[in-house]
Structure 1
Amino acid sequence: MKEFIIATNNAHKVVEIERILSPLGITAVTAGERGIDLGNVVEDGDSFAANAYIKAKHAFDLCHSPVIADDSGLCVDALDGRPGIYSARYGGEDATYLEKIALLLDELKDVPDEKRTAHFTCAVCCILDENTVIEVEGRCEGMIAHAPAGEGGFGYDPVFVVDGKSFASLSGDEKDIYSHRGNALRNLRDALKGSLS
């Protein structure tokens, strides 16, 4: 098995990444599991891809081993693409996802169903060594529900609806089929096949 450091503290992301990349013999671990403190990284890029690279480069410089970082967010058409790259900070740095979802639904309270379109975007940056950087993206189109539904997932999953079901109502394997991160990681998996063989 090949070990990749995942530059995140989000255990849900680590599970998703390993689930999709494990057919390549990849084991996903956090830097913390290897006793490395990534500290706080200033994500001041102007795009998901820029922020993913910032996180990956920071982790690689500390770990000196293959790393994967992602940056993702929810873009709502009726809100001119917000919260976008600020999805994690929407409503303030300390806002919980319940509070972020409540704010989102409040902003959309007068928006009719047909205009509640949105998409998730995920940019993934994988640094294998000093000379090998792989950058991919994935996207998933959906709608914003009027109320949260489902017990699974994380983040905005309870209000992001695809084919009539919220992401939080899907199993992990079902979510992988649709999700922005699933799409991005499949693109990464395809790109890695040549590099790891």
Structure 2
Amino acid sequence: MSTRLLLATRNPGKLAELRRLLESAVPGVEVVGLRDVPAYPEAPETGATFAENALLKAREAVRYTDLPAVADDSGLTVDALNGMPGVLSARWSGRHGDDDANTALLLGQIADVPDERRGAAFVCAAALVTPDGTERVLEAQWRGRLIREKRGSNGFGYDPVFVPEGLDVTSAELAPEEKDARSHRGQAFAALVPVLAEVLRGR
């Protein structure tokens, strides 16, 4: 019998990414998203950190669905902006999920920052919460730098302006499998996979 695992997201790009990571690594688990379960009221992301927001979303998903749930919170921290946009990454321009507006505002804010000081990191906190009260959070970051104009059509969010350390292409120019292997979300979920396997096998 397969176990259903809820990924608490409506973002189709993120769901596809997390499905690729989890379905091959944890056999017999059916990964579903928020569109696959009855709707419930989603609380605003009020946490001050990525870990707090990830836990908030995963706990809420368990409470309403009684399924083991994984949630992540991720965003971009920019050195020249003292770590912002951080947990505000998805709504930096004031409109949640408007990738073009968020990226344009960010690039405008650091337009005068020289190339050698345009360091940044994508950060992801991934939380697993189960109906019996198990809670785990793992965090990872992906260092790189910001370029001045968008390149690439894969990925979403700030991917087209982020060049990971050691590469000369943006994360939006990487193939999905390569991005999964390198990215902040890929690292956080790779670390979570053995925890998921252990916890879900015991159900």
Q: TM-score range by the shorter chain?
A: over 0.9
Identity within the alignment, %: 38
CA distance in 1, matches of 2:187, 2:55: 18
Q: Counterpart of 1:56 in 2: which secondary structure?
A: helix
CA distance in 2, matches of 1:139, 1:10: 20
TM-score (norm 2): 0.92
2:80 is matched with 78
CA distance in 2, matches of 1:38, 1:124: 21
Q: Deviations over 1:8-53 (max 9, x none)?
A: 110111111111111212332113213x113332111110000001
1:103 is matched with 105
Aligned residues: 196
Change (3 A) 1:193 1:33: closer
Q: Deviations over 1:150-185 (max 9, x none)?
A: 011011111111111111101110101210000000
The counterpart of 1:114, out of the listed 116, 121, 133, is 116
The counterpart of 1:168, out of the listed 165, 172, 176, is 172
1:141 is matched with 143
Counterpart code for 1:164: D
Preserved CA contact (<8 Å) 1:18 1:27? no
What's the Cα RMSD here? 1.3
TM-score (norm 1): 0.95
Change (3 A) 1:137 1:101: same
Preserved CA contact (<8 Å) 1:3 1:29? yes
The CA deviation at 1:94 is: 4.8
Counterpart code for 1:27: E
2:43 is matched with 41
Change (3 A) 1:6 1:82: same
Q: Deviations over 1:110-151 (max 9, x none)?
A: 111110000011011111222211211111001101100001
